[in-house]
């Protein structure tokens, strides 16, 4: 008999360890033989700690479970999946989960993250097996055809990046995984690394074989100590079982992997800054070109991909490019791992084909605000993403549709705010955050962000408001045009969107917005032609 109690950091943060101990105590005192499996999270965080038991009908879920509720669960017969006020029925039938399309997260929350046999038993390493029958060119072709784009935020086609590295001649190449998941409202990378670490190892190994790289690094943010511990152990296990090292899965090919910790700098999520940091330097931006694909880590051709991009490669290789490409809309193919966060009733992970609207994500899945006050604003894509009002909620989650509204899908984080939010304060925070995290390379970002805070302070205090709003506009234009990377270049997004969509918070009359008329299909010529800057 198996009882599943998540060891995901979010589950731990609401007492999962205490629940596991209480279950252990009850098993002991009632003399019941059962195994407690510490799985990852299913991503239904409002129900954490969500525990499951294996029954003949399937896994039955209970949640949110406190340690105090555990004896009562035993009394009610939860080990046989019997009813209890906390019983949620069959896990797979919970609508929030059932309505998802879990490809990258197919195993997360189901298996023991550190059990290689669990992993292999659920299609693990099938992608690598297929890749081993193919030439590097064929692997790159397959990934290109799948339409997979960088899930870190920029949305660059993964296959094209790989092709550049494949064609770059060098004695050494590298695969670098960007696990510096710094955007507020995001936790997908963390969940995968804690809940299904082997899928990332497999994805990186395939990437290595595809481009001819024998060495890989995962750059993980230091704010994720639990992910670090799990992933480090997973690497060890993969070495022990012959899935890393000089003879990967008996192929005679080498792939080595190491995980390195960042040190609390948001900028290190930018790929060139990350490479500097990996080399042991200040995480300062490098100008591009040269692209990292040509001159990356230690000056060698390097693939830098986000965790979710790399963790998606195994299923692409296993099921084929066409299978993956059939999900999604327009030029956004496959699934997006949406993370519902902030002031939201049902916060968690929703993996769904591109094209779901913001409204569907926030209300159909998320259930509206946690505070039950009216919705007012949403920030999508992290601290550099735009603030959208209610009138833009019919925007589909799609790279191009968001770009057309001067927003970004980014890494898929959605942070909801209720009516108590003050957008002038949020705009000020965006500038403050840029000032705190700027690497200092570009003057508009380094100095401009501090000036931005000052200008916003004057606007908030109603000093020469019109004049200062003009200065803010000017400053944002300078940041947009005069920064090498996305930190300085995109900080204007949250600032300007706040001013545009919520003028009343800046002492301006409320905007009389025309009724939202947004294309649902990306082939709408109007949407495509606007494009990004």
Partner 1 sequence: MNAWDNERAVTLIQGLQDLPGALLPVLHAIQEEFGYIDKAAVPLIASALNISKADVHGTISFYHDFRHEPPGRHVLKMCRAEACQSMGCDQLIDHVEGRLKARLGETTADGSFTLDAVYCLGNCALSPALMLDGKPYGRVSTQVADFLIDDAQRRRA
Q: Which residues form the interface with partner 1 (CB under 8 A)? A: 9-10, 12-14, 45-46, 48, 181-187, 189-190, 222-226, 260-266, 277-284, 298, 339-344, 347-348, 370, 379, 383, 413, 415-418, 421, 426, 429, 433, 436-437, 439
From the CB of 176, what's the least distance to partner 1, in Å?
11
- What is the rounded distance in angstroms from the CA atom of residue 303 to the CA atom of residue 297? 9
Which residue, 14 or 530, is less far from partner 1 as judged by CB? 14
From the CB of 192, what's the least distance to partner 1, in Å?
12
Which residue, 357 or 379, is less far from partner 1 as judged by CB? 379
Which residue, 436 or 511, is less far from partner 1 as judged by CB? 436
From the CB of 187, what's the least distance to partner 1, in Å?
4
Which residue, 203 or 383, is less far from partner 1 as judged by CB? 383
Q: Which residue has the tokens 């998802």?
A: 100
- What is the rounded distance in angstroms from the CA atom of residue 133 to the CA atom of residue 301? 24
From the CB of 410, what's the least distance to partner 1, in Å?
12
Count of residues in the chain: 533
Q: Which residue has the tokens 């401009």?
A: 448
- What is the rounded distance in angstroms from the CA atom of residue 106 to the CA atom of residue 42? 10
- What is the rounded distance in angstroms from the CA atom of residue 285 to the CA atom of residue 302? 16
From the CB of 125, what's the least distance to partner 1, in Å?
27
From the CB of 222, what's the least distance to partner 1, in Å?
5
What are residue 179's DSSP bridge partners?
220
From the CB of 35, what's the least distance to partner 1, in Å?
25
Which residue, 282 or 467, is less far from partner 1 as judged by CB? 282
- What is the rounded distance in angstroms from the CA atom of residue 451 to the CA atom of residue 482? 15
From the CB of 46, what's the least distance to partner 1, in Å?
7
- What is the rounded distance in angstroms from the CA atom of residue 348 to the CA atom of residue 4? 19
What are residue 258's DSSP bridge partners?
217
- What is the rounded distance in angstroms from the CA atom of residue 129 to the CA atom of residue 230? 24
From the CB of 418, what's the least distance to partner 1, in Å?
7
User: 63-72: which pairs have CB atoms within 8 A and are 24 or more residues apart?
Assistant: 63/88, 64/14, 65/19, 66/15, 66/18, 66/19, 67/15, 67/18, 67/19, 67/21, 67/22, 68/22, 70/19, 70/22, 70/23, 70/25, 70/26, 71/22, 71/26
Which residue, 220 or 249, is less far from partner 1 as judged by CB? 220
Helix (H) / strand (E) containing 329? strand 328-329
Find out whether 244 and 235 touch, Cβ atoms under 8 Å: yes
Which residue, 305 or 339, is less far from partner 1 as judged by CB? 339
Which residue, 187 or 327, is less far from partner 1 as judged by CB? 187
Which residue, 118 or 418, is less far from partner 1 as judged by CB? 418
User: 245-253: which pairs have CB atoms within 8 A and are 24 or more residues apart?
Assistant: 248/128, 248/205, 249/125, 249/128, 249/129, 249/132, 251/132, 253/132, 253/209
The edge-to-edge listing of strands for the beta sheet with 215-220 is 256-261, 215-220, 174-179, 302-306
From the CB of 341, what's the least distance to partner 1, in Å?
4
Q: What angle do CA 277, 279, 281 make, to 5 degrees?
A: 55
Which residue, 116 or 213, is less far from partner 1 as judged by CB? 213
């Amino acid at each position: 008999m198996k009882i599943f109690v998540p060891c995901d950091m979010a589950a731990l943060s609401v007492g999962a360890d205490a629940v596991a101990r209480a279950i252990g105590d009850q098993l002991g005192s009632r003399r019941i033989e059962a195994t407690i499996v510490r799985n990852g999270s299913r991503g239904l965080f409002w129900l954490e700690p969500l525990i499951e038991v294996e029954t003949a009908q399937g896994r039955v879920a209970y949640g949110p479970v406190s340690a105090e509720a555990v004896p009562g669960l035993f009394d009610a017969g939860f080990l046989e999946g019997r009813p209890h006020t906390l019983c949620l029925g069959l896990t797979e039938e919970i609508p929030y989960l059932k309505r998802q399309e879990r490809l990258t997260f197919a195993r997360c929350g189901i298996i023991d993250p550190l059990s290689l046999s669990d992993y292999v038993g659920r299609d693990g390493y099938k992608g690598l097996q297929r890749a081993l029958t193919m030439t590097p060119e064929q692997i790159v072709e397959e990934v290109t055809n799948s339409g997979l784009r960088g899930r870190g935020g920029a949305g660059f086609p993964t296959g094209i990046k790989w092709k550049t590295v494949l064609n770059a001649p060098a004695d050494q190449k590298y695969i670098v995984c960007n696990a510096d998941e710094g955007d507020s409202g995001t936790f997908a990378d963390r969940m995968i690394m804690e809940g299904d670490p082997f899928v990332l190892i497999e994805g990186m190994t395939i990437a290595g074989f595809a481009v001819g790289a024998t060495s890989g690094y995962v750059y993980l943010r230091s704010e994720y100590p639990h992910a670090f511990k799990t992933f480090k152990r997973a690497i060890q296990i993969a070495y022990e079982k012959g899935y890393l090292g000089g003879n990967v899965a008996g192929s005679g090919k080498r792939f080595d992997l190491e995980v390195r910790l960042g040190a609390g700098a948001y900028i290190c999520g930018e790929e060139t800054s990350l490479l500097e940091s990996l080399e042991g330097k200040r995480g300062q931006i490098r100008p591009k070109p040269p692209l990292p694909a040509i001159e990356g880590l230690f000056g060698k051709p390097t693939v830098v991909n986000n965790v979710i991009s790399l963790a998606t490669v195994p299923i692409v290789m296993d099921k084929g490019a066409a299978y993956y490409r059939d999900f999604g809309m327009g030029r956004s193919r496959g699934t997006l791992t949406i993370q519902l966060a902030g002031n939201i009733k049902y916060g968690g992970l929703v993996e769904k084909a591109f094209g779901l609207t913001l409204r569907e994500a926030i209300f159909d899945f998320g259930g509206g605000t946690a505070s039950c006050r009216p919705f007012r604003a949403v920030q999508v894509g992290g601290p550099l993403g735009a603030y959208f009002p209610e009138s833009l909620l019919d925007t589909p989650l799609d790279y191009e549709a968001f770009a057309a509204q001067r927003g970004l899908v980014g890494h898929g984080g959605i942070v909801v705010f209720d009516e108590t939010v003050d957008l002038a304060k949020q705009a000020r925070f965006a500038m403050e955050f840029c000032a705190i995290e700027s690497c200092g390379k570009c003057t508009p970002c380094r100095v401009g962000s501090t000036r931005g805070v000052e200008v916003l302070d004057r606007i908030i205090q109603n000093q020469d408001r019109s004049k200062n709003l003009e200065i803010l506009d000017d400053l944002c234009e300078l940041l947009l045009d005069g920064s090498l990377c996305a930190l300085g270049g995109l900080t204007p997004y949250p600032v300007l969107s706040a001013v545009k969509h919520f003028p009343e918070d800046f002492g301006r009359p409320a905007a009389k917005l025309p009724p939202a008329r947004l294309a649902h299909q990306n082939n709408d010529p109007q949407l495509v032609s606007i494009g990004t800057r």
